[in-house]
Amino acid sequence: MARIKFENVKKTFGKVCALDGISFEIHDNEFFVLFGPAGAGKTTILNCVAGILIPDEGTISFNDQLMNLVDPARRNVAMVFENYALYPNMTVYDNMASPLRSKLYKTDENTIKEKVYAAAKMMKMENLLERLPSQLSNGQKQRVAMGRALVRDPNVFLMDEPLAHLDAKLRNSMRTELKEMQANLGSTCIYVTHDFMEAMALGDRIAIINKGKIIQIGSGDEIYYMPINEFVASLMGEPQINIIPSTIKVEGNKYNLCFEVLGKKISMEMPVDEKVMVKIGELALRCVDIGIRPQHIQYSFEKIEGYFKATVYSYESIGNKSVIIADCGDYQLRMIAPNGLRVRIDSDIYIHPEIGKSIVFDCESKNYIVRYDEEAVKALATIQEVR
């Protein structure tokens, strides 16, 4: 298994800059997730590790050994793709055995049998070995593709959205199996996904990629609770974080948060949190974006003191819960609600954001400034690292 290091790696395709001088290091045995929007550069990173692409600039090394010019076949990486890439006319057994029968890894048939059966056991598909790919479900095909990667002892597993084609239930169970498998093998794994839940569930660390740049690297909790900017905050969370453009008015030792809802000025006293107050004072903050997760917005359909009035824009189920979106004028607020409520679109809704759980962003640069309970969140991230 390997430590993998990128230093100032740049890769362009004509005028498109797919990787814009990125640097990062993946630890030995780490499950490292690449997470970001379409076209961010995630697959290009995998292809550079595999040797399918050669960087224009910068270096890639495995365990401090320079890899830029090493042939893909000699890098000993195992790739698992979204489209499985199985040989249609070979049985599951032969598909799984195929890497060990290649010229480079030529292995005797007894050893192949041992390895194929061990991988089949791990992927719980011993009963499928005689079937052809056409006789398998999508989930089973994906297991074969993983099993085929497992028969070798690769430096690194590269997985490009391997669960994307599976239904939600299977995706959940495969997620758990994948994590278990990786822990058992003690392997380095680079995993690309668009799915926030998958990134959180699998990644020892997550790298947020956008426009060929690494925006933030950290544990799921670290990035979720302390996103470096509003872009990262909006990627990390479903439904997306709410942003309320606000100003801070200081009256004596009171800090009031002022914002508009449907043309009406609202003022809420900011709860006292030493770190937040010190930052506001130090930076003389006046204009901020307040980030609040949907689960931290209280609502009622009856008037309540301290709640402000907005209008219901939509109410939609997202599985085992629903999301109410309220129209507040220049912006909308998302909040979590149970399924099965009788909610009328355009009706009044009374809202109370829990400012004491919010994140404060700079309204111009959109960068993170401070959050409530920052010390507790940092401690949580440290506990994770120690684990």
Ligand X SMILES: Nc1ncnc2c1ncn2[C@@H]1O[C@H](COP(=O)(O)OP(=O)(O)OP(=O)(O)O)[C@@H](O)[C@H]1O
- Number of alpha carbons in the 13 Å side-chain half-sphere of residue 151: 28
Candidates 18, 86, 181, 199: give the one binding ligand X (CB under 6 A). Answer: 18
Instruction: Specify the stretch interacting with ligand X by CB under 6 A; choose among 42-50, 106-114, 236-244, 324-332.
Output: 42-50
Binding residues for ligand X, total number by CB under 6 A? 12
Q: Which alpha helices (H) appear in 11-58, and where do they start and end?
A: 42-50
Q: And the tokens for 373?
A: 């309970």
Q: What angle do CA 68, 71, 77 make, to 5 degrees?
A: 90
Q: Using CB atoms within 10 A of its CB, is residue 116 exposed (0-12), middle (13-18) or buried (19+)? A: buried
Q: What is the CA radius of gyration of the chain?
A: 25
Give me the sheet containing 242-251, strands edge to edge. 264-269, 254-261, 242-251, 287-292, 359-362, 368-371
The residue among 37 and 356 lying less far from ligand X, judged by its C-beta, is: 37
Site string for ligand X, 172-211 (x = CB under 6 A): ----------------------x-----------------
Candidates 1, 6, 44, 204: give the one binding ligand X (CB under 6 A). Answer: 44
Q: How far apart are CA 380 and CA 385, in angstroms?
A: 9
DSSP 307: P
Closest separation in Å from C-beta 240 to ligand X: 18
Residue at token pair 């058992």: 184
3-state secondary structure (DSSP) of residue 181: helix
Closest separation in Å from C-beta 46 to ligand X: 8
DSSP 203: -
Candidates 1, 40, 49, 60: give the one binding ligand X (CB under 6 A). Answer: 40
Q: How far apart are CA 290 and CA 245, in angstroms?
A: 6
Instruction: Specify the stretch interacting with ligand X by CB under 6 A; choose among 31-39, 124-132, 254-262, 359-367.
Output: 31-39
Instruction: Specify the stretch interacting with ligand X by CB under 6 A; choose among 11-19, 68-76, 172-180, 221-229.
Output: 11-19
Closest separation in Å from C-beta 176 to ligand X: 24
Closest separation in Å from C-beta 239 to ligand X: 21
Candidates 9, 22, 31, 42: give the one binding ligand X (CB under 6 A). Answer: 42
15 binds ligand X (CB under 6 A): no
The residue among 28 and 82 lying less far from ligand X, judged by its C-beta, is: 82
Pick from 240, 225, 231, 236: nearest CA to 336: 240
38 binds ligand X (CB under 6 A): yes
Closest separation in Å from C-beta 243 to ligand X: 24
246 binds ligand X (CB under 6 A): no
Question: Left (φ > 0), alpha (ψ -120 to 50) or beta: where does 51 sit?
Answer: left
Enumerate binding residues for ligand X (CB under 6 A). 13, 16, 18, 36, 38-44, 194
